[in-house]
Amino acid sequence: MRFSIVITLSVLFIACQTELDKKLSLIQPYMKQVQDSMNVSGIPDSMAGHFQQFAAQFPQHKSSEKLLYAANLMAERSGRYFECGKWCEMYVAHYPNGQYVFASLVAAAHNYEKIEQFDKAIEYYDKAAKKDPNSTLGKQCAQTSAMLKKGLITPEQQLEYILQNSKDTAQ
């Protein structure tokens, strides 16, 4: 009985290691670019899903944080805005104190805005504005959120609103 338990546990342990090794071997050729400089320009867009899956499956791995952020950049670059928004949410949830939290909040908001999920866009613009309220980008996030809350979704609508309000205050 003990022998069968030891064998079963050994097989399970080896299977887990094999899955990690298998995933690592797939992404290994691109690890240096991601780890050293977050340069994703030479990485095929098709790798974004592999990076995200690795980070989701092994969130505690030392490379997962950067791989997930790289997946976000690649998804956005290839026009996969919904995926980018979801993966940015995942990044913020898994790495709330991570290096790319503010950038992920802004990217989530921007990508949700692109696919007209304005409630989600507002949520993430507000979170970004709260995270860094004194930065230029934080202030822009607060302004964009305010515009979206007013139903002003196009740049033209927003500009018209600004011009109308500046005329009112100038008089």
38 three-class SS: coil
Amino acid of residue 49: G
pTM: 0.81
61 three-class SS: coil
pLDDT at 88: 96
* Number of residues that make up the chain: 171
Measured distance CA(41)–CA(64) in Å, rounded: 19
pLDDT at 39: 85
pLDDT at 89: 96
Over residues 112-165, the pLDDT tens digits come to: 999 999 999 999 999 999 999 999 999 999 999 999 999 999 889 988 998 998
Residue 10 confidence class, pLDDT cut points 50, 70, 90: low
115 three-class SS: coil
Interval 70-78 mean pLDDT: 94
Name the residue among 98, 156, 87 with its Cα closest to residue 124.
87
